[in-house]
Every structure is written in structure tokens, then in C-alpha cells.
Structure 1
Amino acid sequence: MKKFTILCFAFLFVGTLSAQTDQEKAAATVNENTIKSHIYFLADDLLEGRASGTRGNKIAASYLANELRRNGAQPVPETDSYYQKFDLIQTGAPNYMELSLNGTTYPLLAAFTMPEIDQSGEAVFLGYGTENDFKSMDVSGAMVVVLGGSEAGQDPGQMFRSSREKVKRAKDAGAKGLLELVQFDEAMWTRLKHYIGGSTQVKNPDENTETAEMPHAWVNTKTDDPGFVKDMQLLYSLASDGQSKTTLHTQNVVGMIEGSDPKLKNEYVIYSAHYDHIGIGQPNAEGDSIYNGARDNAIGVTAVLSMAENLGKYPTKRSALFILFTAEEKGLLGSKYYADHPMIPLNQMSYCFNTDGGGYNDTSLATIIGLERTSAQPLIEKGASTFGLKAIGDPAPEQGLFDRSDNVSFAQKGVPAPTYSTGFSSFNDEIFKYYHQAADEADSLDYGYLLKFYQGYVYTGRLIANTPDTLFWNAGDKYEEAGKALYGMK
């Protein structure tokens, strides 16, 4: 009789587990102490800002791999590691650059590319460097000087975007180099120079890294009229010791949990976030030089780890692929590398549920960049609202945020891929107070809010992974055709 009673209790217990809703399962595994433990570790000074290729970045990768292991995630079949390793080539800023134009010295320089150089001669001024400007004269073998941005605007975003176009025009025209004249105050110049002073790219083992590059620099004139904007020709001299090149060894962290449905387990939902940050930088007023990256992106990493813990206990119908990217801060390089070298074919990826962010200023919201762009919108809205948050779409489309996070590496291949972020309704001082600042510490976060945020993320992930529907781009989206090609849709 006793054995019969125990057996009945066991069946009842199993029945209770199976009867739990996705909402109950999401709430069951997300708790504040676990959230804090992940974020406090990842944002600890010990990791020195987790810059790709550094010791701190490798410590973070080891922590993430072991968290995946602890929660039952396995390495991708036919691999024996949670790491997808690759190398980066990091280009460092020159030690010095000296420039004069028509006899005036311009000391505020930042090089995108700058070989060792010491030359002088005639340069050509081409206005804003538009396509028509370059067609107006032959600049083959000439140093070209242009104004930054365009007549339509000179904000930093426009300048960076137009700069890429001008470089292409200069190279296509056979120019010797490109100098862009910009005007920024000291605070903005200091912030921007961090992104201009060097660059990083994935190392191609077959590529000759010694290939000469065309000099390209921004010159901060700090005035609207450099004095020669009406002159088509001018004299210049440019000298520099050139940029350094360093090889960095880094890694994405990847694991998977198999789905429970015999058919749907062949499809995967990607749960992703980048775990790198910008490392050690300019000390703030308190002398703190470690940029800990609690918001950007220990918050996102913790979302993925929360999902792994949940699915380790309660698998969904579709399989889960957890990807923690390196080198997002260096130009989305980790996600681009994975998308170009997928460990499981991309046409088996039914959805990419990325999470990233620079902070929050409204704890009533979850902000989803790309919310309205895929058929998962009702599931995302339900997931957030169930735990007390309102899901909103991109509040600042002019910023191009969808194409500035790791989700875009998969979107470009055709995989539906929004980014789930903490709540913000605008870019204001509360965002910039912490974004890429040394003040972005674990003890500055609202963990009561994050509890709801993670519960909503996990619940939404479960809804996406369990739905019988095929999720896809909404009609007319810029990535719809890529999706049709990827999945063989007509």
C-alpha cells in the first residue's frame, strides 16, 4: 500500500509539472539573486571591461561556458567546445600625426587609416565630396580634402555614414588620400575620437596585412570656415608614424539544448547577446578608468543565461541555440563571424531573439527594436505585459538602431531578428550618463525592474519556441527577400 501511495504521488507530481503554463515556468526560474550574481560578476573590475582579446574577456567567456554547462546546454554536435574561436586584427592609433593646410597647422586629427607617411604637395578641395564633386575633376594621385557630413546635416551619425561613401569615391577615383574637415566641441571630439583612433576586423589568414592603405582622417578645425573653402587647390603636408597592427585571439560562446517535439526540434530559436565591452579608457572625475558595462551588455548576457536556466529545466518544442558574441563593440564582428561561419545551418534557425542595450529611462517599458517587423509581435507584447511591462517599438528610428546591434548579422541572412532592450522612450541624459561610461556599474541598476524584464524575456522566448506558427518578416520588410531566399520560400 505504501509503495502504491508513493507511486501515485510521483505521477501526480509529474502531472503537475507538465500542466504548468509557459508563464508559470518562466516565473519559476527567474529570481533576483541569480540576476544579481551574473551581473555583478560580469561587471566586476576583475574583468577590466571585457574588451575582446583581453584576459577579462576570456574570463567572461569561461564563466559563460560553465553557466551553459551547469544548465545542461551542450556544445554543438561534432564540436568538443563551447568556444567558436577566431582572430582579430586590431589597428592602433598612430603615436603622432602632423598636418598643415595652406600653412595652417591642424593638431586635432583622428585617423581611420594612416600608413607611415611623410609627404607634401598640392591637395584638391572637393566641397562635401559628393558624387558630383568627384566627377568635377580628375583627382587621380591627389590628396583630397572635403567637408565632413553633407549640406543636409553634420551630426555624427550622418558624418560616419557619408564618410564611408566618400572613402569609396576617393578610392575609385584613384586619390592618394582623403582628409575630412569636421567641427566638434571638445567633449564630443573626445567621445568620437575613441571610435576613430583605431579599427578592428576579423583576420583573414589568406590576406596580406601589409597591403598599403589610403590615408583617411578627420581633421577638427573647430570653425565653420577653415579659410580655404573657396580654393579648389591648396598646399598640404602630412606626416605620421602610422598605425600599429596587433592580432587578438577571441571567441564566441555557443551552446544548445535540444527541443522536445520530434519534428520542431530540428528548428532552432537563437538566444543571443554580446558579452564584450570597451575595456579600460579615459578616467572619469573619480579616477575610475574601467568601463564595466553593466547595462551594455551584462544585462543582455544575463537574459540569455536566464533563458538557458529555464530551458534546462523546461525544454521547449523547438531547440535552443545560445550564442554570446564577442567583438560587438568593435563593429558587430562576433555576430558577423558566426553568421558567415554558422555551426548549424542558418535555414534551421526559425528566429533570433537578441538582447542588447545602452540603458533605460522608463521602467514601465521593454523596448524592442524591430517589434513591428516580424510576425512575433503579438507574442512579444504578451510576454512583456504578463509581467507588468509594456512592449514598445523603436522610439528613435532615425538612429538606425536595428542595424547597429548583433541582430542585423542574422537579419541580413534572412533570419527574423529583433533586439529586446530595457525600456527607453528617448535618448536623454539618463541614457548618456551610463552609456559607454565608467559609471555603468552593477550597483547602479534597478533589480526590481530587471526581474520583470527577464521574466518577460523568458516567457516571450518560450512563446516563440512553442508556437506552431512559422514566424517570419512582415510583408515589405527590407529583409523579407533575404528570408525567402534562406528558407526557400516563393
Structure 2
Amino acid sequence: MKNIFTITGLLFTCMLIAQSDKELAETLILKEKIESHLYFLAGDELLGRETGTQEELIAAQYLATQLHSYGVQQIDGADGYFQHVPMIKTIPPSETMLKVNDEQIGKFVAVNGGNINFNGTAVYLNYGLKEDYKDKNVKDKVVYLKGGSETAQSPQQQFQLMEEKRTLAKKMGAKAVVEFLAINPMIWNYIDHTFNETIIALKSDDDEDDNFNYLIALDNGGKTAEKLSSKTNHLAEIKISGSKKEAFNARNVVAMVEGTDPKLKEEFIIYSGHYDHVGVGKPDAAGDSIYNGARDNVVGITTVLSMAENLAKYPTKRSALFILFTGEEKGLLGSSYYVDNPLIPHNKTVFCFNSDNAGYNDTSKVTIIGLGRTSAEQDIKVAASAFGLEAIDDPAPEQNLFDRSDNVHFATIGIPSPTFSMGFTSFSGKLTETYHQPSDNPDTIDYNYLVQFFKSYVLAGRLIANNPNTPFWIAGDKYENAGKELYKK
């Protein structure tokens, strides 16, 4: 009986939506327009829009041109429609060698530092925590360490301690660190792959002069560390060459539309998505090596473009901030930079309506990651229902999707931040066939479904932006306290 009342309530609410509001939400969304965005941005010519490439810059320029054509406003503090995001590209070494007491170590990677040629004394310091340095002289020596600590032995815990260990060793004057990790070889294969590829990260102030070398090595069963622990002084030979660092600026694409209500226009809603993807990689069975990323995430940024075009012509009571992020596939970099360098104060930003996609396997639905976590739930459900779709919450919590997209940086500081995605009822089937695959092409998408999908997003945004009640976290949510602190509730 409860379900009947819920469905009836939704239908009744849909009938109460101002006819003009629904019409405004759908009036500018055309299948041909959607196709033109997807076929350009997810075309082979843009080579998968990898962060730091010329093709990603072309995509950014295309997005800025679209925003300009809609008549949205530039933001103070931006360079036109761009927020420059300083990044650094670390190119892995072409030659590496590590010897411990004349025994060559086969499996190791350089986590930090540059080229080095060292042949000299090494000191074993147990876990390499503060107490292990007592009465020890490590100046200009290599420090050998055991992975993690007495209480931190999982791979994640061991990695979390590395920065503390690196900082201590550098402070004490060490030349380099070699940490031996007793972890599953399958996990090591992932680590090895990660650090032997080009790494892109946000640029920090000490990137230029911090060449302190931190190496990690696979220690099967902890045997190497056990052998080293029998005495303090050892020998080390380390050769790393061919490593390079290159600084560059990527771009977040940003714009705004001022709200119409004298009071509510002081509150901003972010409409966001990332426009980068993973570039060119391993060919599939058909020989295709371009990871076009039509679903992930050209669909998401076209969602935001639809919102920007709509609000530029038909503004809502609250103001709108549009952000198309760079570097999401490299670790949510563009959104991280924006949160640390906001163009609109965070306490004036009341909602982040992110759009990100892996794919879809149910065209009768829209899936909102975090749907039930904010007071905007009803507006989103009503909007989807108005266009014949059902809004459902995250069906795959085991994937931790809420914390894997740009929205999480906003949630962490207290801004309610669900993610609007194409319909999926499980993280499997057709979704995984295209997720981060060369087959994620624009000619494999149901555009009739996308029309309804975009209309639902635009209407949901309009309803939230015109709602007299400011959206917020549901009581008890893990980010509720951060929101109360941010907004002084």
C-alpha cells in the first residue's frame, strides 16, 4: 500500500509542476544537437582526450566555445572560460637498478624522486618511524625499511604511512629510502604497472626541487627485511636514469548564470562533469586502441551543456555555476584543484549536481549515486518521472561510486553532491562491456534515451534551483556535520 501512495504522490506532484517549467526543461534539447556533441568530443580525432594532451585542450576549447555561444557569463578569477590547473607529468625512468649488499633486487619501483647514481652505505631502521631514528646517523646514507608498522600491514595502510616515512628520512638527511613490502604479488603487479607509466599529478610548490628518492620493493614473505634486520649497516647501489618531470597547465572549463531571485541568487548550484578520458591504450580484439569515452564522460558533459544552454535562456531563482573538470581519470585532479581554489565561495555553493557515467544497462531508469542522501531526492524523482523514467539510487554500493567521482571533493567539505548517471541496475552486463574500453563509441548509444535523460537532468536542476528550501544532507549522513560547519547551521 505504501508503494501505491508513493507512486500516486509522484504522479500528482508531476501534474503540479508548472507547465512552463517542464516545457522550459525540454525546449532546447534535440537529438541532433546531442549527437553533434558526442560525435565530435568522442571522435577518434580527439584520441580519447587524455589529460595533458593537445586533444584534451581542443576539447576544452570546444566546450568554452559552446558556453560562449549560449551567452553564459565568465567568472571573476578565471581566464575567460578557463581555470588553469597546474600539473606535473612524471615520465618513468628508462633504466633502473637496485642492489642490496651486492644482491640485485628484481622487483622495485621509484615512488618519488628523480635520477640517482648511488653506491655507498645503507642503514636498516625497522619501520622507519620516529622512534627508529633515535641515536642513528643516516646523513647521506640510504635507509632500508620494513613496510607499514606493527599495526599497519594491509597494502593500503602501508601506502598511507609512506609520506610520513619519506618526510622523516629527508629531515634526518638520508640520501634515499628503500622500503620492502611483503604484499600479495598480484597487488604488486598493479603497483608496478602504475609507477612504470607516466604519472600526472597536481603541481606543488616543492615539485621542482624535491628529488628525494623513495623506492619500494617487493619482499616475498618478508625475507629480505628479516635478513637485513640482523644488523644495522649495509651496502646499497642504486641507479635510476631517464626519469623526467614536465610542468604544464590543464584546464577546468567554468562559467556561470546569475539567478533571478534577489535573495536566492546568492546561493549557487554547481552543474559539473569531467571531460577527460584515458587516451590511447591497449588495442581490443578488433584492433581499436582509442578509448573514446562517449559514455564516460561525453554524455556527462553534454548533460551539463544542456543545463547551461537552458539556464542561459531561462534562468532560475538560484545562480548556476558550470564546471567541466580536467584530470578526473588521473585521480579527480581538476575537482581537487577547484575545491582548493574556488571561484565562488564554498559557503555560497549549496549543491553540486554532478554527472558522470560508466555506462548503462536499463533505459527505463536514471541512476543517481547518493539519491537518498540529500533533501533534493523528491525533486530528482519528480523530474525523471515527468519524462517517463524512474530515478533509482546506487545499485552497486560495493563499487564505492560516490567516492570515485568529482562530487566527493565537494561532499567532503560539506556541499550536498549526488551524481546523475545513466540507468543501471548492476555494475555488470552491457555497462562493463564498454566501461574504459575502446568500444565506448558514439555510434553505440541510444540517443532516444539520452533525450529523456537530459530532459530529466535539466528539469531536476530547475526544480532544485527554484525550490524555496535550500537542499541539504539527510540527517545522519556522514557529511552532514561538514555541511553544518560550512553553512554555520
Q: TM-score, normalised by structure 1?
A: 0.82
Counterparts in 2 of 1:116 and 1:460: CA distance versus 1, 3 Å: same
Q: SS state of the match for residue 23, structure 1? A: helix
Q: Which amino acid aligns with 1:54?
A: T
Contact residue 111 and residue 197 of structure 1 kept, 8 A: no
2-side partners of 1:97 and 1:406: how far apart? 35
Q: Which amino acid aligns with 1:456?
A: S
Q: Which deviates more, 403-412 or 164-173? A: 164-173
2-side partners of 1:414 and 1:201: how far apart? 24
Is residue 2:164 matched to residue 1:168? yes
Instruction: Report the equivalent of 1:267.
Output: 267
Contact residue 384 and residue 456 of structure 1 kept, 8 A: yes
Q: Aligned-pair distance for 1:167? A: 4.1
2-side partners of 1:123 and 1:372: how far apart? 54
Q: Which deviates more, 193-202 or 373-382? A: 193-202
Q: Which amino acid aligns with 2:34?
A: I
Q: Aligned-pair distance for 1:238? A: 4.0
Instruction: Report the equivalent of 1:315.
Output: 315
Q: Which deviates more, 84-93 or 429-438? A: 429-438
Instruction: Report the equivalent of 1:253.
Output: 253
Q: Which deviates more, 61-70 or 354-363? A: 354-363
Work out the number of aligned pairs and report it: 457
2-side partners of 1:446 and 1:104: how far apart? 58
Instruction: Report the equivalent of 2:462.
Output: 462
Instruction: Report the equivalent of 2:6.
Output: none
1:232-243 paired onto structure 2 within 5 Å: 233=229, 237-241=237-241, 243=243
Per-residue CA deviations over 1:286-314 (Å, capped at 9, x if unaligned) read 33332211122111101101111222332
Counterparts in 2 of 1:213 and 1:278: CA distance versus 1, 3 Å: farther
Counterparts in 2 of 1:389 and 1:401: CA distance versus 1, 3 Å: same
1:177-188 paired onto structure 2 within 5 Å: 177=177, 178-184=179-185
1:39-438 paired onto structure 2 within 5 Å: 39-77=38-76, 81-99=80-98, 107-119=106-118, 141=138, 142-146=143-147, 159-160=155-156, 162-169=158-165, 171-172=167-168, 176-177=176-177, 178-184=179-185, 189=189, 193-194=193-194, 197-204=197-204, 206-207=205-206, 209-217=208-216, 219=218, 225=221, 228=224, 231=227, 233=229, 237-241=237-241, 243-428=243-428, 430-438=430-438
Q: Which amino acid aligns with 1:35?
A: I
Q: SS state of the match for residue 161, structure 2? A: helix
Contact residue 93 and residue 197 of structure 1 kept, 8 A: yes
Q: Aligned-pair distance for 1:322? A: 0.8
Contact residue 92 and residue 198 of structure 1 kept, 8 A: yes
Counterparts in 2 of 1:169 and 1:247: CA distance versus 1, 3 Å: closer
2-side partners of 1:486 and 1:179: how far apart? 42
Contact residue 382 and residue 460 of structure 1 kept, 8 A: yes
Instruction: Report the equivalent of 1:5.
Output: none
Q: Aligned-pair distance for 1:181? A: 4.7
Counterparts in 2 of 1:376 and 1:55: CA distance versus 1, 3 Å: same
Contact residue 50 and residue 60 of structure 1 kept, 8 A: yes
1-side partners of 2:182 and 2:42: how far apart? 38
Q: SS state of the match for residue 215, structure 1? A: strand
Instruction: Report the equivalent of 2:488.
Output: 488
1-side partners of 2:428 and 2:226: how far apart? 38
Q: Aligned-pair distance for 1:109? A: 4.4
Q: Which amino acid aligns with 1:168?
A: E
1-side partners of 2:254 and 2:268: how far apart? 13
Q: Aligned-pair distance for 1:184? A: 4.8
2-side partners of 1:196 and 1:163: how far apart? 17
Instruction: Report the equivalent of 1:6.
Output: none
Q: Aligned-pair distance for 1:143? A: 1.7
Contact residue 147 and residue 153 of structure 2 kept, 8 A: no
Q: Aligned-pair distance for 1:218? A: 5.8
Counterparts in 2 of 1:47 and 1:373: CA distance versus 1, 3 Å: same
2-side partners of 1:195 and 1:310: how far apart? 43
Q: Which deviates more, 418-427 or 96-105? A: 96-105
Q: Which amino acid aligns with 2:343?
A: M
Output the aligned Cα RMSD. Answer: 3.4
Structure 2 unaligned regions, length at least 5:
1-16
Counterparts in 2 of 1:281 and 1:218: CA distance versus 1, 3 Å: farther
1-side partners of 2:307 and 2:92: how far apart? 40
2-side partners of 1:293 and 1:275: how far apart? 9
Contact residue 181 and residue 222 of structure 2 kept, 8 A: no
Contact residue 317 and residue 465 of structure 2 kept, 8 A: yes
Contact residue 179 and residue 218 of structure 1 kept, 8 A: yes
Percentage of matched positions with identical amino acids? 44
Instruction: Report the equivalent of 1:473.
Output: 473
2-side partners of 1:394 and 1:104: how far apart? 51
Contact residue 110 and residue 195 of structure 2 kept, 8 A: no
2-side partners of 1:282 and 1:447: how far apart? 28
Q: Which amino acid aligns with 2:159?
A: S
Instruction: Report the equivalent of 1:34.
Output: 33
Q: Aligned-pair distance for 1:279? A: 2.0
Q: Which amino acid aligns with 1:165?
A: L
Counterparts in 2 of 1:267 and 1:418: CA distance versus 1, 3 Å: same
Q: Which amino acid aligns with 1:468?
A: P
Q: SS state of the match for residue 32, structure 2? A: helix
2-side partners of 1:99 and 1:429: how far apart? 44
Q: Which deviates more, 46-55 or 226-235? A: 226-235
Counterparts in 2 of 1:80 and 1:89: CA distance versus 1, 3 Å: closer
2-side partners of 1:436 and 1:21: how far apart? 39
Per-residue CA deviations over 1:229-286 (Å, capped at 9, x if unaligned) read 7546387654321631001222111111222222222221110111111222333343
Q: Which amino acid aligns with 2:193?
A: K
2-side partners of 1:189 and 1:251: how far apart? 32
1-side partners of 2:315 and 2:212: how far apart? 51
Q: SS state of the match for residue 329, structure 2? A: coil
Counterparts in 2 of 1:389 and 1:105: CA distance versus 1, 3 Å: farther
Per-residue CA deviations over 1:432-483 (Å, capped at 9, x if unaligned) read 4333222222122232332222222111111111100011122233322322
